Amino acid sequence: MTTVARQPADRGRTASAPATSDLVGARLPKWAPIAAGAAAVVLAFGLRALLSWTGWYTTFFTAALLFILLLSGWSFAVEGQRRAKDRLASTLIYACFVAAIVPLVLILSYIGVKGISVFSPDFFLKSMNGVTSRQEGGGVYAALVGTLETVAIAAVIALPIGVLTAIYLVEYGRGKFAKAVTFFVDVMTGVPSIVAGLFVYTFLLLGFGMRPFGAAGALALAILMVPVTVRASEEMLKLVPRDLRDASYALGVPKWRTILKIVLPTAMSGLITSALLAIARVAGETAPLILLVGYTQKINFNPFSTDQATLPMMIWDQLGKRAGTTSNDLTEARAWGAALTLVLIVLILNVGARLLAKLAAPKTR
């Protein structure tokens, strides 16, 4: 009995040519999005010239809308309804991403261009003490010291409370009390910053007859930090596998020791990230500081004594010193420099959160 080897139907096809299948329908070429984008831009500029549009925003959004319509219509005509719907959804997702990232890039670029002009060693090593609005010189030293001290005090108060509350909700929270804590945390998440400032102002400054000082602002910032820390830390603790806890309990380890030795080290990278993100969240708050910290051009290292300068308040002060309706280039430049310094502090905190999270992440090998 002999067998006949069946020759493949595509024996003559070269090895480099991909096999086709009837299940794969027609597809748009890879350059289709580029062509649709170019056509959309040309049509948008044509409509701009025809209708005499003056602003660029209308042209930009028209080009984006035309791109989506052209690419989707082309896809419906060539690829069919199923693939066209998938391409339309993907295009809308990318469009939303661009719509979210473009304003952020423009804001950061504008702040960088406007603020970098005043950056110098003196700008970071000198205060505004004795510097008038029309006088060159001065810097953010006093405001930088005040911001770091205020945020540090707020972090010392809020982070332990937030992390311990998250531990309670994840590991022990059961019943009505836990639901009440969760409810109030959610409510505090939406509390405006000025309300937190008014609360501290009423019960601390008015209640005890005190003058504004740095630590009072730190209390308001701590109130704003607590719900952010609780929510972020709670999610990080929930990511710890339940099997790790069960294995520890099976060995007879008490619950408190399991949390201390198993849960917290496993979630440490996420907890560090949530802590630094909560700090970055309140670093630029201004409303509570107006009520509770005040502003002074002098260097004040004591956050528990009289007014203290902070970066948000320095920005507010410099912009408020513009003479009449005429723009003062010196004060505006210092305000943009302080704004860029604040943005860099937040950026350093976010980058530091990523690095610390990577270093504190549990080793997989």
CB 340 within 8 Å of CB 119: yes
For 276, counting Cβ atoms within 10 Å of its Cβ (0-12 exposed, 13-18 middle, 19+ buried), the class is buried
Task: State yes or no: pLDDT of 69 exceeds 70.
Answer: yes
Task: State yes or no: pLDDT of 293 exceeds 50.
Answer: yes
Which pLDDT does position 167 carry in this prediction? 93
Q: Per-residue pLDDT averaged across 181-185, rounded?
A: 91
Domains delineated in the chain: 32-116 (no CATH), 125-360 (1.10.3720.10)
Which pLDDT does position 153 carry in this prediction? 93
Which pLDDT does position 257 carry in this prediction? 92
d(CA 316, CA 101): 27
CB 296 within 8 Å of CB 132: no
Task: State yes or no: pLDDT of 15 exceeds 70.
Answer: no
d(CA 168, CA 170): 6
CB 140 within 8 Å of CB 124: yes
Q: What is the DSSP string of 230-273?
A: HHHHHHHHHTS-HHHHHHHHHTT--HHHHIIIIIHHHHHHHHHH
**R_g (Cα) of the chain, nearest Å:** 29
pLDDT digit string, tens, across residues 228-253: 999 999 999 998 988 989 999 999 88
Alpha helix positions (H), 283-310: 287-292
Structure tokens, 215: 């630590």
Structure tokens, 137: 């010189």
Q: Per-residue pLDDT averaged across 260-279, rounded?
A: 88
pLDDT digit string, tens, across residues 186-195: 898 888 889 9
Which pLDDT does position 220 carry in this prediction? 92
Task: State yes or no: pLDDT of 325 exceeds 50.
Answer: no
Which pLDDT does position 160 carry in this prediction? 93
For 175, counting Cβ atoms within 10 Å of its Cβ (0-12 exposed, 13-18 middle, 19+ buried), the class is exposed
Which pLDDT does position 157 carry in this prediction? 93
Lowest mean pLDDT among 125-139, 187-201, 207-221, 341-355: 125-139
**H/E element, 317:** helix 311-320
Which pLDDT does position 363 carry in this prediction? 64
Q: What percentage of the chain has pLDDT greater than the value 70?
A: 89
For 242, counting Cβ atoms within 10 Å of its Cβ (0-12 exposed, 13-18 middle, 19+ buried), the class is exposed
CB 200 within 8 Å of CB 220: yes
d(CA 276, CA 17): 53
- The residue among 157, 140, 196 whose CA lies nearest residue 313 is 140
For 196, counting Cβ atoms within 10 Å of its Cβ (0-12 exposed, 13-18 middle, 19+ buried), the class is buried
DSSP 3: -
d(CA 22, CA 168): 58
Which pLDDT does position 25 carry in this prediction? 66
Place of tokens 């719509």: 99
d(CA 200, CA 213): 12
Mean pLDDT (the chain, rounded): 84
Place of tokens 């003559």: 12
Q: What percentage of the chain has pLDDT greater than the value 90?
A: 20
pLDDT digit string, tens, across residues 135-175: 777 889 999 999 999 999 999 999 999 999 999 999 888 88
Alpha helix positions (H), 190-213: 193-200, 207-208
Task: State yes or no: pLDDT of 346 exceeds 90.
Answer: no
Which pLDDT does position 331 carry in this prediction? 84
Which pLDDT does position 24 carry in this prediction? 57
pTM score, two decimals?
Answer: 0.76
Task: State yes or no: pLDDT of 37 exceeds 60.
Answer: yes
30 pLDDT band, cuts 50/70/90, is: confident
Q: Per-residue pLDDT averaged across 195-203, rounded?
A: 90
CB 39 within 8 Å of CB 70: yes
CB 284 within 8 Å of CB 107: no
